[in-house]
Structure 1
Amino acid sequence: MGFSRTLSRRSVLRGAGALAGSTAALPLLSACGGQVGTSSASAKVQAVKPGTITIMSPTGEITDDLVKGFEQAYPQLKVTQINTDATRLNAMLAAGNPPDVVRDAGTDVTPYIASQGLALNLDAYFEQSSVFHDADIMPVNNVWKWDGTQQGTGSRYGIAKDWSQDAMWWYDTQLWANAGLAARRPTDPITYAELLDAAKAMTKSSGGKTSMYGLWYVTPDIDRIAAMVATAGGKIISDDLATVDFSSPEAQQALAWIVQAGKQGLGYSVANPSPDWDGPEMFAGKQATACQGYWYTGFTETTAPGFESKLQFNAAPLLGSTRISPTFGAVGFWIPAKAKNPGASFAWLEWYCGGAGAKQRISAGDGLPSVHSLLSVLPQRNDFERAVIATQNNELDYIKVVQVASPYALNTAINTTLAKDFPQAITGSLSVGQLADLLTTDVNAVLAAGKKALGK
C-alpha cells in the first residue's frame, strides 16, 4: 500500500483496523442502537449532494494535491480530513454521526463491519458505477466481500485504494553475495527454512550487539501466521469463524519459525522491537532484507534511490508447497451505513481508487491498482522498475483470500493478544507447543467475548 512520504510505514500499519486495537470496540454493538446483522439488500443509490465529506484517514496520507484534484472534479464538494482514531470513530458511529468515508484494511475488518451493520452494502453503487466494472476489479478486492458467513464472496462493502502482495520480500544483493549466498531467481519462492539460514549468514553481532540483522522485523500478526500456514495446506480459524486453533502441525511450524527468528536475534521481534520499520532500517544499513510488497518500489525511488541497483524483489516464501501470496491489508475505504451523503462518499471511492486520483498515485509506483485497467500505468522507466514489474506480474497468479478475519473481533484485537503472549516463548521457557495452547486459549477468549456481545 502506498503512503505519504511524511508518514512512517509503521504508523500507517497501526492505522489499519481503525475500529479497535482491543476488545474495547465491542460495546459499540449496543451503542449503535440499530439491528445487528447482515442485510442482503443493497443500499439505494443516492446522487451526490453538495456539501462537505469527512474522511477518516491517517494524517498526511491523502495529500493536499489529491484533495484539490478531487474538489476540482466535484466542485460542489469540499473534503475535510480527520485522523484515524479508534475511540473517536466508535463514538461517532454510536452517536449516528459517522465520517462519510473510513480508511481501513479490508482483510481485517470486512466480516466485522458488515455483520454488525456498520458498513453500507455497496452492491448497487458498484453495479451502477461508470468507473468500476466487475470484470475490471482486481480479485484482491474480494477481501471486501462478505456473504454473511464467509469473506471473499457475497456483497461488496469497500474497495482497496492500492495494495501489495505483502509476503513478498526484498534483499540487498550486495550483502547477500558477501555472505556467500547464491543469487536467487526472483520468481522462485524460497522456503522459510532456507530464509532463516540465509538470515543467519547475513546477521552480524559482536559483544552482545547486532550491527546487521539478516531478517526483517518479524511481527507475530494473525495475517502473517495464517498466510504461512495456508502455504502448508492448513488454516487457523474455524469454518464458523468463532474459534482459532494454533495447535495443528502447520500452525506450530509457523510459530516455531517466528520464535526461532526471535531467539537467535536474526531480526527485530516483539521481544526486541525495531526503532522503526523495515525501510529506514534497511536504508540505514542495519537490515539486509525487508518484507514489503510492490509499493516499496516507489518508496525506494523517492527515499533511497542509491539502493535501486542493490535491491531484488522476490516471490513470497513458502512454509509448505502451496503457492499462496496474499495481501495483509488491501487497505482502502468503506462507507458507514449512516453516512449523510453516501453518493458523495462513493464518488470519492471512484475518483481515488479507480479514477484520476488512482492513476496519479499508481503511476508513482506506490502500490498496485484496484482495477486491471490501471496496471498499464505502473512505472517501467528503468531497469529497476522493469525487473520489479516482471516479478510482480508473475506473482499475481498466486493472490488468494486467506480467511482469518472474524465477525466477532477485529484482527487488531487478536494481534494485541499475540504480541502479549509471544515474548514468553522468545525470551522465556515457554515451548512452542505451550505457546500454541496459550494463543489458542487467549484468542478464543477474545472471540467468545465478541460473540457473547452479539447475543450468540
Structure 2
Amino acid sequence: MPDGQASAPVGRRRFLTGSAALASGAAAAPLLAGCNASTGGSGSGKTTLTVMYNSNELTKQHIAEFERLNPDIGIRLIEPGGDDAKLNAMLASGRPPDLVRGAATASANNNARGLATDLDPYLAKSSVLKKSDLLPVNDNWRWDGHRIGAGPYYGITKDWSQDATLWYNRALFEQAKVDELSTTEPVSYDELLDVARKLAVKKDGKTTVYGLGIEWQWGLSGPLFQMVLSQGGRIFNDDLTQTDLTTPEAKRALQWFVDLAQSGAAPSSLNPLPDGADLSTFMAGRMAVSQDGFWYGGNFNEAGGDLQANIRMAPAPVMGGKRVSPCYAGQGAWIPAQSKNKDAAWKLMEYFMAGPPAEERARSGWGLPALKSLMPKPPQELPYQKDAFETSQAELAHQVPMPASPYITAANWISTLNKYVDQAARKKITVDTAARKITDDINKLLTQGKDRIG
C-alpha cells in the first residue's frame, strides 16, 4: 500500500517506517465549514495547525486549497511525517502537533497510553466523515481499552491495500512454461514456493531472475501473521501480553521462510537486493512474482506497454484452510489528545480524508480508498488495472485486522524475526530453536511494554 499519491515509482518502505511510531507511536467547500475551530498559535485570532505529514501526500496545493476554504486556519507542516524522535520530543514537551501521520495497525500503543483523541464525537457530528462510510480497515484504529477493533476510533486511514496479494509477470511464466496464477483463486504457500523454484533462473551459481519476492528486507512480521491466521492460529493471548511462536501454525510459517531463503528463488537475508525492495527488479523483468498490495499498481502507470500488458494481481496465498487478506499498515492520521486545536485539526482531517485529496488518491491507483463512497474511483481503464481492481474487491470479503498489541512495536517484531530466521536459514540453529528464541525475546519485550503502560 502506498503512503499516498506519488509521481514516481515508490516502495512500501515509506509506510512501514511509520508503523512503529511511539514505541515506548472544490465541491467540498460547503461541507468543510461545519465546526468552529479553536484559536491558537497567533495573536490575530487565526489558528495555526502544526501538522506532521509528508509533502508528497499533503501537498502544497492541498494546503493552499484548504487555507483558501478556511481563511481562519493556517498550516505549519513538519516533515517527515514518520519522525518518531521529533514527535516523542514534542509530546514530552507538552507542545504536540495537531495532526500526525500514522499507521492504523500501529495505533494501539498510542491509544492505550491515552495519546490520541477519541474521534467518535467528531464522526457523530460530521457531514463529511461518517462511521457508516468507513471501510473495515479503519477498525484497526479502534481501541476499547482491552482490544483492537472495538470501541472509539482514534484515527482515520487515508488509503490502504491488501498487502499479501501477489503481482506477477505473465511473460516470465510463459517463458518458463509454468501455468500462471489465478486472479480469482488463491494459491497455497507451498504451491507458491514450488512455482518460485520453477520460475527462478540461475547462472554461475547466482540468481538472475527471481521466481518470487516477499519484500523480505521490509520485515517478515506481516507475512508471518497472515500465514498463522490462515491456519486458524493466533499471535497473541487474550490480553495481548504474550505470544507463542512454538505452535504448529507458527513453526510451519517459519519453516516456509527458511525454505524460501535456502532455495535462492527469492531475495532474502542470504541474498538481499541492493536497493532493499522488489520494485526495480520486478520492473526490469527479473522477478516473476512480488507480494505487494493494490498500491503497487501505481508504479505501472507510466510503465512500458509490454509490462502493462503482462502484469496481473492474484489473491493473497493461503497456508491453511482460511482465506485471510490483511492490510499491514493502513496509513492515515490521528489527533494528539494534548492538541489545543482539535476542532481545526478535524476540519483538516475531513478535507484530507474525504475531500479533493481523497478523490485524487483514489483515482491515481496508489492504493484503495478507505471510504466506501470512494471505492468505485480507482482506475480501471487498462486490463491490468481492471483485473487488479476486481481482485481487490473480491479480497474485501477476507480482510481481517492485523494482530497487534499496545505493548510492542512492529519494529520489535521485525528485528527479532529477522535475527532468528536468518540464523535458521544459515543452518546455525533449527527452526524449533528459532521459534523458542523468538517467543522468549518477544515475550520479554511485551512484559517491558506492559510495565511501562501499566
The two structures share one fold, judged by TM-score above 0.5: yes
Correspondent of 1:98 among 96, 99, 104: 96
Q: Corresponding residue for 1:13?
A: 15
Q: Which amino acid aligns with 1:90?
A: N
2:32 counterpart residue number = none
Structure 2: state its 5+ residue gaps: 26-34, 40-45
* Counterpart check, 1:156 vs 2:153: yes
AA paired with 1:73? L
Q: Quote how far apart the aligned CAs of 1:306 are.
A: 4.2
Q: Does 1:74 align with 2:80?
A: no
Q: Distance in 1 between matches of 2:89 and 2:306?
A: 46
1:172 to 166, 169, 192: 169
Structure 2 residue 357 is matched with structure 1 residue 367: no
| Distance in 1 of aligned mates of 2:8 and 2:57 | 8
- Alignment of 1:56 with 2:52, yes or no, is yes
CA distance, structure 1, for counterparts of residue 349 and residue 272 of structure 2: 35
1:397 is matched with: 397
Q: Report 1:298-317 matches (<5 A).
A: 298-303=298-303, 306-317=306-317
> Quick check: 1:353–1:369 contact (8 Å CA) kept in 2?
no
Q: Deviations over 1:404-448 (max 9, x none)?
A: 211112222222222222211112321111110010011111111
Q: Is the 8 A contact 1:168 1:292 kept in 2?
A: yes
Distance 2:52 2:273 in 1: 27
SS in 1 for 2:301: helix
Q: After TM superposition, where is structure 1 displaced by more than 6 Å over at least 4 residues in a row?
A: none
Cα distance in 2 for residues equivalent to 1:433 and 1:88: 40
Q: What amino acid is the match of 2:85?
A: T
What is residue 211 of structure 1 aligned with on the other side? 208
Letter in 2 for 1:103: R
Q: What letter is aligned with 1:341?
A: N
Letter in 1 for 2:52: M
Superposed displacement of residue 171, structure 1: 0.6
Deviation at 1:305, TM superposition (A): 5.4
CA distance in 2 between counterparts of 1:68 and 1:306 reads 39
Indicate the SS of the match to 1:171: strand
Per the alignment, residue 141 of structure 2 pairs with: 144
Contact 2:100 2:334 in 1 (8 A): yes
What is the SS of the residue equivalent to 2:77? strand
Aligned counterparts of 2:108 and 2:387: Cα–Cα separation in 1: 36
Match of 2:111 in 1: 114
2:131 aligned with 1:128: no
Structure-2 change in CA distance of 1:450 and 1:18 (3 Å): closer
Question: Which residue in the other structure is 1:280 paired with?
Answer: 280
Is the contact between residue 46 and residue 342 of structure 1 (CA under 8 Å) also seen in structure 2? Answer: no
Output the amino acid matched with 2:49.
Answer: I
How far apart, CA to CA, are the structure 2 residues paired with 1:294 and 1:150?
Answer: 28
The 1:18–1:54 alpha-carbon spacing in structure 2 relative to 1, beyond 3 Å, is farther
Q: Distance in 1 between matches of 2:265 and 2:400?
A: 29
Q: Show the 5 A alignment for 1:243-258.
A: 243-258=242-257
What is the CA–CA distance in structure 2 between the aligned matches of 1:423 and 1:453, rounded to whole Å? Answer: 30
User: Separation in 2 of the partners of 1:10 and 1:167?
Assistant: 12
Farther off after superposition, 87-96 or 265-274: 265-274
Letter paired with 1:71: E
Number of aligned residues: 432
Please state whether the residue corresponding to 2:313 is helix, strand or coil: strand
Q: Cα distance, 1:345 vs. partner?
A: 1.5
Q: Is the 8 A contact 1:7 1:61 kept in 2?
A: no
Judged with a 3 Å threshold, the aligned counterparts in structure 2 of structure 1 residues 303 and 159 are, in CA distance, closer, same or farther, namely: farther
Change (3 A) 1:9 1:48: farther
Say which of 192, 195, 202 aligns to 1:195: 192
* SS across alignment from 1:9: coil
- Alignment partner of 1:422: what SS? helix
SS at 1:321 equivalent? coil
More divergent stretch after superposition (276-285 vs 95-104): 276-285
**In structure 2, how many angstroms separate the alpha carbons of the residues matched to 1:272 and 1:67?**
43
Q: In structure 2, what residue type is equivalent to 1:47? A: A
Task: Indicate the SS of the match to 1:121.
Answer: coil
**Contact 2:38 2:47 (8 Å CA) reproduced:** no
In the other structure, the counterpart of 2:31 is none
Q: Residue type of the partner of 1:91?
A: A
Secondary structure of 1:290's partner?
Answer: strand
Partner of 2:239: 240
* TM value normalised by structure 2: 0.90
2 CA distance for matches of 1:247 and 1:139? Answer: 30
Alignment partners' CA distance in 1, 2:120 and 2:327: 23
CA distance in 2, matches of 1:432, 1:408: 26
- 8 Å CA contact 1:47–1:343 kept in 2: the answer is yes
AA in 2 matched with 1:317: P
Give the match for residue 423 of structure 1: 422
Residue segments in structure 1 that go unaligned for 5+ positions in a row: 29-44
- C-alpha distance in structure 1 between counterparts of 2:300 and 2:233, whole Å: 35
Q: Secondary structure at the match of 2:159?
A: coil
- 1:70 deviates by 2.5
SS of equivalent to 1:259: helix
- Indicate conservation of the 8 Å contact 2:199/2:210, yes or no: yes
How many angstroms does 1:275 deviate by? 2.3
SS in 2 for 1:453: helix
